[in-house]
């Protein structure tokens, strides 16, 4: 709201008058001031909701800080040592990375396939786009609850349906084994997010000028050549955006596993964020160790994202 209180200086009509140097200086200082004023609200939000919490978490990560008892003073680096020594730490790292690779490959692949499919004009185009996009309108927690019911061995309809169709013998346990729980969750995520990534890639596809395709066609390129030499390279920025969003989102996965599996069965589906939650609120109740874990995750995310940006940008420099 402070935007409205910012000093509004009407832009000088027809550019700067050439004669007065002093005036130009003053006016550029005014512009700088105006710029700061415009940026101030965002800066304030970043400060209050990003920088301060990080500092607080930083303080927690170097303090003995039980959930119920509060700050008991500096104890670094005990929290970081305990965090890495946690008996689920490496399991959760490996599981999170596995899940991220599976989810990213499936989501980007399917998203691209669906985008290409619905881009072609046809009588089903509108229906298809809507059908694929609708799950994205559902919150992730609601979607997880929906699938919890669908997968339920007591009341879920999917297992009896598969049995009735003769596809399986005996009831299917969707969340009963480590592998089944992982793939059942991946299925939910694909159902929920494929439409979203389809939309992002569709925007990218439609941003490619038609004349490029026309030129390729006139040069005698077939469909596969067009896709590999025209579509993919020109879609690069969109693909980069999707990959980075998907990787980051998957590394921070929590809701779906918290609701569907709670880390089970047999502690096989604990993601890093879930480990943070468990340490903070379910048992150990130690905010210091949880904050240390959060910092480790933050550092890993920054590194992974920097690497991704480098990788995505490289060919443009050539």
User: Which residue in the set 83, 140, 239, 290 belongs to the binding site for other proteins (CB under 8 A)?
Assistant: 290
Nearest CB to other proteins, comparing residues 50 and 183: 50
**Both tokens assigned to 278:** 């468990």
Q: How far is the CB of 270 from other proteins (least distance, A)?
A: 7
Q: How far is the CB of 20 from other proteins (least distance, A)?
A: 33
Nearest CB to other proteins, comparing residues 226 and 284: 284
Q: Which range, of 70-78, 101-109, 192-200, 201-209, touches other proteins by CB under 8 A?
A: 70-78
Does 270 bind other proteins (CB under 8 A)? Our answer is yes
Does 268 bind other proteins (CB under 8 A)? Our answer is no
Does 178 bind other proteins (CB under 8 A)? Our answer is no
State how far the Cα of 178 lies from the Cα of 126, in Å rounded to an integer: 38
User: Which residue in the set 53, 109, 157, 207 belongs to the binding site for other proteins (CB under 8 A)?
Assistant: 53
Does 278 bind other proteins (CB under 8 A)? Our answer is yes
Does 54 bind other proteins (CB under 8 A)? Our answer is yes
List, as one string, the DSSP characters of the chain: -HHHHS--PPPPTTS--SS-HHHHHHHHHHHHHHHHHHHHHHHHHHIIIIIHHHHHHHHHHTB--BTTT----B-TTHHHHHHHHSTTHHHHHHHHHHHHHHHHHHHHHHHHHHHHHHHS--TTHHHHHHHHHGGGGS-HHHHHHHHHHHH-TTT-SHHHHHHHTTSSSS---TTSSHHHHHHHHHHHHHHHHHHHHHHHHHHHHHTS-HHHHHHHHHTT--HHHHIIIIIHHHTHHHHHHHHHHHHHHHHT--HHHHHHTTT-STT-S--HHHHHHHHHHSSS-BHHHHHHHHHHHHHHHHHHHHHHHHHHHHHHH-
Nearest CB to other proteins, comparing residues 7 and 317: 317
Does 234 bind other proteins (CB under 8 A)? Our answer is no
Q: How far is the CB of 9 from other proteins (least distance, A)?
A: 25
* Count of residues near other proteins by CB under 8 A: 62
Q: How far is the CB of 10 from other proteins (least distance, A)?
A: 27
Residues that bind other proteins (CB under 8 A): 49-50, 52-54, 56-57, 60, 65-72, 88, 148, 152-154, 171, 173, 175-176, 237, 241, 244, 248-249, 252, 254, 261-267, 270, 273, 276, 278, 280-285, 287, 290-291, 294, 297-298, 301-302, 305-306, 309, 313, 316
């Amino acid at each position: 709201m402070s935007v409205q209180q910012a000093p509004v200086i009407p832009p000088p009509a027809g550019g700067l008058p050439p004669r007065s140097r002093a005036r130009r200086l003053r006016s550029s200082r005014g512009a700088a001031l105006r710029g700061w004023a415009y940026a101030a609200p965002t800066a304030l939000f970043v400060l209050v909701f990003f920088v301060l919490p990080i500092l607080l978490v930083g303080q927690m990560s170097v303090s003995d800080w039980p959930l119920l008892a509060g700050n008991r003073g500096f104890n670094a680096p005990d929290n970081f040592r305990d965090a890495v020594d946690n008996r689920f730490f490496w399991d959760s790292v490996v599981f999170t990375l596995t899940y991220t690779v599976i989810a990213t490959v499936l989501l980007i692949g399917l998203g691209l396939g669906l985008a290409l499919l619905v881009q072609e004009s046809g009588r089903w185009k509108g229906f298809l786009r809507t059908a694929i996009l609708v799950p994205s309108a559902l919150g992730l927690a609601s979607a997880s609850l929906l699938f919890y019911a669908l997968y339920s061995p007591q009341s879920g309809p999917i297992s009896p349906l598969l049995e009735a169709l003769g596809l399986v013998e005996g009831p299917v346990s969707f969340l009963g084994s480590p592998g089944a729980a992982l793939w059942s969750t991946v299925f939910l995520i694909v159902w929920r997010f494929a439409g979203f990534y389809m939309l992002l890639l569709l925007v990218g596809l439609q941003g490619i000028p038609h004349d490029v395709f026309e030129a390729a066609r006139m040069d005698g390129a077939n469909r596969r050549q067009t896709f590999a030499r025209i579509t993919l390279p020109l879609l690069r920025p969109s693909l980069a955006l999707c990959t980075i969003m998907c990787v980051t989102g998957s590394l921070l996965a929590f809701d779906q596993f918290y609701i569907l599996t709670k880390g089970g069965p047999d502690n096989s589906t604990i993601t890093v964020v879930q480990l943070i939650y468990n340490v903070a609120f379910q048992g150990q109740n130690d905010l210091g160790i949880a904050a240390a874990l959060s910092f480790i995750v933050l550092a890993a995310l920054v590194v992974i994202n920097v690497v991704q940006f480098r990788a995505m940008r490289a060919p443009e420099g050539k």
